[in-house]
Amino acid sequence: MPVVALAETHCTGGASVIEWRRMRPTNAHRLARGRWSGGVDFGVRGEQMIGRVLKNRYKLIDERGRGSMATVYIGRDIETNRLYAVKALSREAAADSELAERFQREFELLTRISGPHVVGPVDFGEDRGCLFIVMDYVDGHTLKHAILTGGQFAIRRAVDVIEQSAAGVATASAQGVTHRDIKPQNLLLSVDGVVKLTDFGLARSHESRDITITGFFVGTPFYVAPEQVENSRRADTRADLYSLACVFFELLTARVPYDGEHAWDVVMQHLNAPIPSASALRPELGSAYDEFFRRALAKRADDRFQTPQAFVEAVDALPQPGAVAGRSDERPRALTGAPKVVSAPLAAAALVASTGQVFILSAPDMVVGRSDPQRGYKPDVDLLPLDPAQTVSRRHARFSRQDGRYIVEDLNAFNRTRVNGTPITPHQDVEIHDGDMLRLGNIDLRFETRQR
């Protein structure tokens, strides 16, 4: 007689898909002992890809991460010498029309989501049977790596990281996108302390056709919301916030809320087990954190925080031992549209238009350009309302903060970015100072810095 068992496979880039299926008893027992291979190995062979040039432009120079069906590489744009992250789907997975469709949908969803706490898309293509996505490169590591190498985070740092992560969730939510695989492995922490959400391989929007196979749920057992187990198609932003609460618990304690020897053990705890006490693992947290997790990890979605804004407000209200009473990091809390949550800047920078409109550069790395509603693209700073003639490119210029200096980079715009009347070379860093005048298309902007 066949028995019901649980098998874990992987979607693009390591995103997990959990399947209930009927299998022979011997296979079920092998699975229970952790020996079930699941069949064909869809992994990309990294040693065969290093040095390869995709689309005659992106040279793969190093491997950054590997999943069962895709591998992420560091790629160098041989035209601009700029580094990018390149996610390549294996040939075997690309030959599966459903997986190929999901991979292309991941890129399409990314083009709709623009914000300082989401990894930005650059290009999508196919090269000799290899489907790939080119994304902004983040110099840093995943939160999982940070936890494994450094243990639990200082409380104030954990709060800052989770609020930035919530900003990424809010950016997706504002565009009607549910990530469905929030976990530390999908949150990148840059060397500058900026968090960016990545890997939308399991994400879906309200409009997209759901291609999840009946009998599966998508997600990762350690972080999956109860309703996502029961029906992945109905998971919404509240499921992403549940997963984010699991990440917060792990940042604070270096332990996941629910653990077990097998995936099914963990999933059943999410469904039925009492909510664990964070203060029992780290007494300095106190009862306020336990109260937060009782709501954030509630079994019913209606009993949890309903929006990223509510989630962040609750996190911000938590006591932080060692922090100055009545502290104010002056970080923006608005989580609608394109969130701007950054890590305690020393100075505020802004672009001031001739009309008097002020655009705050609230994150260490922001793209200024023109939104394209038809393509669903919106930059961090959108100049379309000031530019009816559309002289500004969609991705016109990048403004970044590096070691206390402010840098502008022209992103190969059709009308070159000008600083104090001089056009700058594309993809070349140019330092700017308080009072400098910039021209993007026909839009004049004054750069200002103000000490906080």
Q: Look at strands 204-205 and 3-10 and give their pairing.
A: unpaired
Q: Which long-range contacts (CB under 8 A, 24 or more apart) does 25-33 make?
A: 25/1, 28/3, 31/5, 31/6, 31/7, 32/5, 32/262
Helix (H, G, I), strand (E, B) or coil at 77: strand
Catalytically active residues, by annotation: 181
The two three-digit tokens of residue 163, written as one number:
């609020």
**What is the rounded distance in angstroms from the CA atom of residue 151 to the CA atom of residue 72?**
25
Strand ranges (E), 176-231? 177-178, 187-190, 195-197, 204-205, 216-218
CB atoms within 10 A of CB 388: 8
* Amino acid of residue 416: R
* Amino acid of residue 229: V
237-253 helix and 287-296 helix, angle to the nearest 10 degrees: 150
Contact 192/364 with Cβ under 8 angstroms?
yes
**What is the rounded distance in angstroms from the CA atom of residue 78 to the CA atom of residue 55?**
11
